[in-house]
């Protein structure tokens, strides 16, 4: 039976501040500790696997006999965003952060964007994705001007009402921005943010979001697997994050629940290689909106789906659960936080209850996946494969 790896990224599920968190304005951040205090937080399956046994985790109840191997991962790259986090998970570390724009994008860049798109620009400063619609949505509908905004992350976001700017046209504008944003302005992602509604009171973003990412600066785990003829199935925004590099099949999802339903369906399907899953709701809907109870409820929902997945995994399957950064919903900030992330590994061939300690790079995941799937790869990080296999 073919070996398969299910790699699930709980987007922004941090487990406590890293030593350099203060340098990023994130001293004291702890996403897991924050949501564990909510009455909506019930994660018995994660508890049994060993989530609360991980070094440095001081909330929850430790499992007496954890079902999984577990570790705390420290980000080696200089950043705390989705793009760099996923690149590192896939074996590529970044020695400098992607550019951010706390005062908005330079005037000359915005003027050139306006010239190329034929539309004027509104906002051009860091903004909450929901608040920007309230403050600029109606003016956009009257004028057709594009709402351009950013955040503490390396993103150039373009919002437009689907009835004013058709989705495919918005995507074309974002492709123009992606072409422009090179060199010193090589932001991690250009994001199309379509929305609907009639006024500031009912504007809401749709599921037609699309990310236009930088290509990874070096070959990743995905490229190595694809080169060896393995399946690389990107679920959720994985395809977008890697700009399609190394992905053999992409499956778009509408949120966490749908993402896990897709994963459950893949577990029942024959393939050989990697199912790489991103569950974005933790970050996009709850972390960035400081919704502690919503984040906690999403963790509870995931835990139930996880229980279902564990029941149908095959003897040769490996399951890895991790995250790409933090986004503590209990802090005043609505942005990502520089945190350690969890690592849980289980499956038929994997030992139970091995404490892998604190690993110095997310890229240990890529090395381990490639080693398990018998694929040679030149990647960052050190494999923990010898420590977890029966």
Q: Are residues 233 and 190 in the same domain?
A: no
Domain match, 204 and 263 both: no
Query: With 90 as the cut, is the pLDDT of residue 374 above it?
Result: yes
Residue 348 has pLDDT above 90, yes or no: no
User: Which pLDDT does position 165 carry in this prediction?
Assistant: 98
Which of 185, 213, 241 is the last residue before a domain boundary?
Answer: 213
230 and 209 in a common domain = no
Q: Quick check: is 102 in a domain?
A: no
Query: 283 and 342 share a domain?
Result: yes
Q: Is the pLDDT of residue 97 over 90?
A: no
User: CA-CA distance, 353 to 92, in Å (whole number)?
Assistant: 28
Give the residue-averaged pLDDT of 79-102: 94
- Residue 284 domain-assigned (yes or no): yes
Range of the domain at 367: 4-97+216-388
Structural domains of the chain, count? 2
Q: What is the pLDDT of residue 54?
A: 98
Rounded average pLDDT over 183-210: 96
Do residues 346 and 231 both lie within one domain?
A: yes
pLDDT for res 96: 86
Q: Phi and psi at residue 47, in whole multiples of 5°?
A: -65, -45
pTM comes to 0.92
Do the domain assignments include residue 146?
Answer: yes
Mark whether 134 and 92 lie in a shared domain. no
For residue 311, tell me if it sits in a domain: yes
pLDDT digits (tens, 9 = 90+) for 35-76: 999 999 999 999 999 999 999 999 999 999 999 999 999 999
The answer to whether residue 116 is domain-embedded is: yes
Kindly state whether residues 193 and 59 are assigned to the same domain.
no
**Do 96 and 217 form a contact (C-beta atoms < 8 A)?**
no
Q: Can you tell me the distance from the alpha carbon of 21 to that of 329, in angstroms, rounded to the nearest whole number?
A: 16
pLDDT at residue 153, rounded to an integer: 85
Mean pLDDT of all residues in 204-230? 95
What pLDDT digit, counting tens, does each position of 136-179 carry?
Answer: 999 999 999 999 999 988 999 999 999 999 999 999 999 999 99
Q: What is the pLDDT of residues 352-369, one digit of tens each?
A: 999 999 999 999 999 999
Distance CA 179, CA 191 (A): 13
- Number of helices and strands in the chain (H, E): 13, 14
Higher pLDDT, 130 or 328: 328
What does the pLDDT read at residue 288?
Answer: 92
- What is the percent of the chain with per-residue pLDDT over 70, rounded to a whole number? 100
If asked whether residues 244 and 142 sit together in one domain, one would say: no
CATH number, position 127: 3.30.70.1250
| Final residue in a domain of this structure, among 168, 190, 213 | 213
Residue 30 sits in the same domain as residue 67: yes
Closest Cα partner for 14 from 371, 309, 338? 338
| DSSP character at residue 17 | B
Domain presence at residue 51: yes
Give the mean model confidence (pLDDT) for residues 295-308: 98
pLDDT score for 190:
97
- Residues 334 and 111: their CA atoms lie apart, in Å, by 29
Asked whether residue 56 is assigned to any structural domain, the reply reads: yes
pLDDT digits (tens, 9 = 90+) for 228-246: 999 999 999 999 999 999 9
Q: Is residue 228 domain-shared with residue 314, that is, in the same domain? A: yes
Single out the residue in 213, 234, 250 at which a domain terminates.
213
What local confidence, expressed as pLDDT, does residue 390 receive?
84
pLDDT value of position 21: 97
Q: What is the CATH number of the domain that holds 33?
A: 3.40.720.10
Cα–Cα separations (whole angstroms), residue 212 to 9, 98, 177, 196:
19, 15, 9, 21
Instruction: For the chain, give the percent of residues with pLDDT over 90.
Output: 96
CA 98, CA 154: separation in Å to the nearest integer? Answer: 6
Residue 272 and residue 132 share a domain: no
Question: φ and ψ at 336, to 5 degrees?
Answer: -60, 155
Whether 134 is in a domain gets the answer: yes
Give the pLDDT mean for 210-227. Answer: 96
- Claim to verify: residue 29 and residue 178 sit in the same structural domain: no
pLDDT in tens, 252-286: 999 999 999 999 999 999 999 999 999 999 999 99
Q: What is the pLDDT of residue 207?
A: 87
């Amino acid at each position: 039976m073919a070996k398969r790896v299910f790699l699930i990224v709980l987007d922004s599920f941090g487990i406590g501040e890293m030593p350099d968190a203060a340098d990023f304005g994130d001293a004291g951040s702890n996403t897991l500790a924050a949501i564990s205090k909510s009455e909506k937080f019930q994660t018995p399956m994660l508890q049994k696997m060993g989530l609360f046994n991980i070094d440095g985790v001081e909330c929850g109840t430790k499992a007496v006999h954890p079902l999984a191997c577990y570790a705390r991962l420290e980000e080696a790259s200089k950043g705390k965003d989705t793009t760099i986090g996923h690149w590192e998970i896939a074996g590529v570390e970044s020695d400098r952060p992607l550019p951010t724009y706390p005062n908005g994008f330079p005037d000359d860049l915005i003027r050139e964007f306006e010239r190329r798109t034929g539309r004027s620009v509104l906002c051009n400063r860091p903004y909450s994705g929901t608040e920007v619609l309230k403050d600029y949505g109606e003016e956009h509908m009257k004028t057709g001007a594009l709402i351009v905004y950013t955040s503490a992350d390396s993103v150039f976001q373009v919002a437009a009402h689907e009835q004013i700017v058709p989705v495919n046209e918005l995507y074309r504008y974002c492709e123009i921005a992606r072409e422009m944003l090179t060199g010193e302005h090589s932001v991690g992602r250009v994001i199309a943010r379509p929305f609907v509604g009639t006024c500031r009171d009912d504007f809401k973003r749709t599921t037609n979001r699309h990310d236009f990412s930088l290509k990874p600066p070096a070959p990743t785990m995905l490229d190595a697997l694809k080169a060896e003829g393995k399946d690389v199935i990107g679920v959720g925004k994985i395809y977008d994050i890697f700009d399609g590099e190394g992905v053999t099949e992409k499956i778009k999802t509408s949120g966490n629940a749908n993402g896990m339903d897709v994963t459950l369906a893949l577990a029942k399907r024959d393939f050989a290689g990697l199912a790489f899953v991103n569950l974005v709701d933790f970050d996009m809907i709850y972390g960035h909106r400081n919704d502690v109870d919503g984040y906690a409820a999403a963790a509870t929902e995931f835990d139930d789906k996880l229980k279902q997945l564990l029941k149908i995994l095959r003897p040769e399957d490996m399951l890895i659960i991790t995250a790409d950064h933090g986004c503590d919903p209990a802090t005043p900030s609505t942005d990502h936080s520089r945190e350690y992330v969890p690592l849980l590994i289980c499956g038929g061939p994997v030992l139970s209850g091995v404490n892998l300690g604190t690993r110095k790079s997310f890229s240990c995941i890529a090395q381990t996946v490639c080693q398990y799937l018998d694929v040679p790869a030149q990647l960052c990080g050190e494999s923990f494969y010898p420590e977890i296999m029966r």
